[in-house]
Structure 1
Amino acid sequence: MSKLTNPILKNHKINFSSKLSKSILLGFVFTILGSYEAKAQFTLTGQLRDRVEMRAGQGTLQQEGDKAALFTSQRTRLNAGYSGYRFKIFTAVQDVRVWGQDASSINRTTTEANNGILLHEAWAEIFLNDTVSTIQNLSIKAGRQEISYDDQKVLGSLDWLQQGRRHDAIVFKFANKGWIADVGAAFNQNKENNAGTVYNGTNPAYGAGTNGIGTMYKSFQYAYVGKKFFFGDLSFLFFKDDFNKYTLVTAGTPAVTTKVNGTGVWSRNTTGVYFNTNVTRKLNLMGSYYYQGGKNKDGRSLNANLFSITSTLQVGRKLFIGPGVDFLSGDDGTKTVTADSKDNRFDPLYGTPHKFWGSMDYFYAANGFGKQGLLDYFFKIKYNAKDNLSFALDIHGFESANTLSNGAGGKLNSYLGTELDLLVKYNLTKIINIEAGYSFMKATNSMASAAVKNVANADLSPQFAYVMLNIKPNFLAKK
């Protein structure tokens, strides 16, 4: 049988040895590779997160007879990134608002007052090591960015809040053979100016400060070193944040006291260690210790500490349980506070309090809760029913870490309340997540007292519930 041949190819053989043919072939290959490279360099993702909340005492106690609040908040984010030779750029723009907050037609005044649109992240990372370097990473990251380490107890993105948390900072980053070392700094100003560095510590775009302290830092400097060992993770953190000095001036009739900012700063130093280790194949221990010294935002000397340990035991294939305890020091409520007295209140810096001290956010969130610190002993249960469905139950017992005063020379019961947090997570797809939570607290009279939440005729059975839809698409992913 004779071979079938194409007469065109037979008479017009392609000469792959010619320069023109090689150029065409190489151009075709580079075009294909270039298209894949472009897709790898540019990323475009987003997030739409709607959360319906029912609050009946969330954050602080309600008075008897107060009605529950019901509202829907929404976060909309657009994230764009680009990677080139020895650099990376990332920007995240977000809009955060409550449904109905703006008029349904254009209303410039209302929109500006609500101020929901802001730049969440905008940073560039420059890589100092080239492709042949033996060092895994050596880079400088500058701009608005999230700063998050370890379990986020003292430095975290605070993702639960729709607006999140970010910092305008520069960070020098090193990573190699399991070691991580970051050194960062920030320096805040209210605006461009020609003289002076006085900073009033406010930013109307997303509120002042964290944990109810009412002011932003003037500057910060930190160093973080971490290492992955065979037994787990171990890290060290030193963080110094500085607050603009001020004086209180009283004048006028009637007398009015005004806060006047001056030059110089009061510096607060936080130093500590974190560990996360698997004691056995099914038992995990995670803990941390931090000491806080220097001076607080009001110039008082600090002497405070945080201690935390959490255990997780795997029971069977799907069930995880474990007790834990957090201790954050505080002041003795029976002693009079003066400008010369030590401040023993530990402030967990710029972390994620919602993750640790109850979903109802009674402690170290936006609302203050006194000065006596916190003792939180808890038991956590998590059940992974399916790959895309999980249930969690956290039980907290909250107690004052120091003496509570009744305001008349006596003492109050240190126990503040018991909280139950139930959480259900369901992944409909890889990009669509549905989450629902319910929290209930049995508070004590001490929680309602003037020393803690200061709510008269309080409802001591607050509740909180929410349903959240979270969609995070990758706009450049293949369908």
Structure 2
Amino acid sequence: MHGKSIILLLLVFLIFGPASVHAQVAVSAQLRTRGEYRDGQGTPSVRDTVPAAFVSQRTRVNLRYTGHRFTFYTTIQDVRVWGQDASSINRINTDAYDGLMLHEAWGEISLVDTGKVVKHFTLKIGRQELVYDDVRLLGNLDWLQQGRRHDAALVKFEHHGWTAHLGAGYNQNAERKSNTIYNGTPSGYAASTNGMATLYKSMQFLYVGRKLPFGNASFLFFKDDFSKFHFAPADTLAKTPLYERGTWSRYTVGGNLFGTVRKRVTLAATAFFQGGKYRDGTSLQEYLFSLSALYAVNKKFSVGPGVDLTSGNNGDDPSKKYQRFDPLYGTPHKFWGYMDYFYVADGFGANGLTDLYIKSKLVANPRLTCMADVHYFTLPDKVHGEDGRWMDRYLGTEIDFTAQYALSNIIQLEGGYSAMLASTTLTSPKVKNVKHADRSANWAYIMIALRPAWTNL
């Protein structure tokens, strides 16, 4: 759907939608502009590399139309870097996957006519965000200006503290008269957090959550299926995949527990196992464990430690080729350091990660919140260097500072600074593979977001 058609559809809803006596229309928007300074963000820079600086902007218009037993919702967004368009025209072909796009477009239909027996039982279908728990495995990746969404159908049941969601998606490249082979396009973009460079052909998941007296518990089973492929016998260099019928299926199963103990200590525990087949057919046996605590010293200041452990490949044992846990379609920026060295598009080899961290939060006043985190990164398993010797498992230390200030209910200001002190192991060929690396990296940003909203138009 072209941008003009989308805007026209919005106008039609705004003009004719309120005509219904029982309908409600809500329109909201977001203008988020972020300036960044990057000197080794994501991966160490080569020594004497000139740092990068740029301004990116996300513009969103959201429309919610609610009537009897249904809700329609759509988000139109445009993502740009200042200056990447000519000042008098708009580009036709975009790089970096930016531009005007349909971020969300879904309808939700109530499957019951009253909430007296079942509070919430609906079918939600269309392009939508999947946001669950702490967004570690399923999230909207909101830090990325483009965000993340899925084309899916979702049955939602919520009643008496229980939540059960059953979802599924099925992807194809285009309308066809025959054949169901899917090549995972876009092939040049890291569709998942581990840079798998392909999108699933289909997926199914079950999420069950339960409210407890002290917090929440949840269970997730997620299966994503990837098209099988092979290489032509003569293709020894390019390795261009030739897709075929059938899929390799990967499944991720586990749960979360969040709770508050004695009103001052907040605990979070996560455990997941990953099995099945990788997208190239290799058997998987992977895991993720996380445990953290946050202690409220007083009403304004809280601090606490945590540890994350994800499995990685064992290069000395060929039978364990794929033990590298993939945190699916979550928001890694929230967990493994704001400089995005791990589980983002840059990658860090076939390794797992041990992250020991301390996080703190200061609510100076109702408008101002400051946070400071320290991450100590290591490899869970030893890795051989180029000389055949074992390398130190220590990867580096990252320090993150952020501050958020609410100028008003609509205007939000945010800024941050991060520094990474990298080790030779981090820059080695088995991890980041950067020769002549500058092992001291810096990153800073400043962001302003406007979020106006109008209801009952």
TM over 0.5: yes
How far off is 1:113 after superposition? 8.6
Q: Distance in 2 between matches of 1:153 and 1:307?
A: 12
Q: Give the number of equivalent residue pairs.
A: 441
Identity %: 48
Q: Report the counterpart of residue 372 of structure 2 in structure 1.
A: 393
Indicate if the aligned counterparts of 1:300 and 1:341 stay in contact, CA closer than 8 A. Answer: no
Q: Deviations over 1:218-251 (max 9, x none)?
A: 1100000000011210010000001111112242
Q: Report the counterpart of residue 430 of structure 1 in structure 2.
A: 409
* Helix, strand or coil at the partner of 2:258: strand
Residues 7-406 of structure 1: pairs in structure 2 closer than 5 A: 41-109=24-92, 115-131=98-114, 133-203=116-186, 208-251=191-234, 256-335=238-317, 337=318, 341-406=320-385
Indicate if the aligned counterparts of 1:396 and 1:418 stay in contact, CA closer than 8 A. Answer: yes
Q: Which amino acid aligns with 2:53?
A: L
Aligned structure 1 segments of 4 or more residues deviating by more than 6 angstroms? 34-37
Q: Distance in 2 between matches of 1:341 and 1:247?
A: 21
Q: Deviations over 1:289-314 (max 9, x none)?
A: 00001011111100010000110100
Q: Which amino acid aligns with 1:158?
A: L
Q: Distance in 2 between matches of 1:362 and 1:197?
A: 37
Q: Deviations over 1:39-97 (max 9, x none)?
A: 97111000000000000000111011001100000000000010111010000010001
Q: Distance in 2 between matches of 1:325 and 1:444?
A: 20
Equivalent of 1:463, from 427, 430, 442?
Answer: 442
Instruction: Tell me: CA distance 1:44–1:213, structure 2 relative to 1, closer, same or farther (3 Å).
Output: same
Q: Distance in 2 between matches of 1:306 and 1:132?
A: 38
Q: Report the counterpart of residue 451 of structure 2 in structure 1.
A: 472
* Helix, strand or coil at the partner of 1:446: helix
* Helix, strand or coil at the partner of 1:316: coil
Q: Which moved more, 1:112-121 or 1:384-393?
A: 112-121
How far off is 1:407 after superposition? 2.9
Structure with larger Rg: 1
Q: Report the counterpart of residue 426 of structure 2 in structure 1.
A: 447
Q: Distance in 2 between matches of 1:114 and 1:307?
A: 33
Q: Distance in 2 between matches of 1:92 and 1:35?
A: 19
List gaps (5 residues or longer) in structure 1. 1-33
Q: Distance in 2 between matches of 1:420 and 1:129?
A: 50
* Helix, strand or coil at the partner of 2:425: helix
Instruction: Tell me: CA distance 1:205–1:43, structure 2 relative to 1, closer, same or farther (3 Å).
Output: farther
How far off is 1:38 after superposition? 5.8
Instruction: Tell me: CA distance 1:78–1:39, structure 2 relative to 1, closer, same or farther (3 Å).
Output: farther
Q: Deviations over 1:343-374 (max 9, x none)?
A: 11110000100000000000001111011200
Q: Distance in 2 between matches of 1:216 and 1:403?
A: 31
Instruction: Tell me: CA distance 1:255–1:47, structure 2 relative to 1, closer, same or farther (3 Å).
Output: closer
Q: Distance in 1 between matches of 2:188 and 2:238?
A: 28
Indicate if the aligned counterparts of 2:232 and 2:242 stay in contact, CA closer than 8 A. Answer: yes
TM-score, structure 1 normalization: 0.88
Q: Which amino acid aligns with 2:373?
A: D
How far off is 1:196 after superposition? 1.4
Indicate if the aligned counterparts of 2:252 and 2:272 stay in contact, CA closer than 8 A. Answer: yes
Q: Report the counterpart of residue 8 of structure 2 in structure 1.
A: none
Q: Distance in 1 between matches of 2:302 and 2:153?
A: 39
Indicate if the aligned counterparts of 2:23 and 2:68 stay in contact, CA closer than 8 A. Answer: no
Instruction: Tell me: CA distance 1:36–1:437, structure 2 relative to 1, closer, same or farther (3 Å).
Output: farther
How far off is 1:195 after superposition? 1.4
Q: Which moved more, 1:69-78 or 1:129-138?
A: 129-138
How far off is 1:115 after superposition? 4.7
Q: Distance in 1 between matches of 2:360 and 2:98?
A: 39
Q: Deviations over 1:135-194 (max 9, x none)?
A: 110000000000011011111111000000000000000000110000000000011111
Instruction: Tell me: CA distance 1:406–1:205, structure 2 relative to 1, closer, same or farther (3 Å).
Output: closer
How far off is 1:208 after superposition? 3.9
Q: Which amino acid aligns with 1:203?
A: P
Structure of higher RCO (CA pairs closer than 8 Å, 6+ residues apart): 2
Indicate if the aligned counterparts of 1:169 and 1:184 stay in contact, CA closer than 8 A. Answer: yes
TM-score, structure 2 normalization: 0.92
Instruction: Tell me: CA distance 1:195–1:271, structure 2 relative to 1, closer, same or farther (3 Å).
Output: same
* Helix, strand or coil at the partner of 1:191: coil
Indicate if the aligned counterparts of 2:22 and 2:68 stay in contact, CA closer than 8 A. Answer: no
Q: Which amino acid aligns with 1:281?
A: K
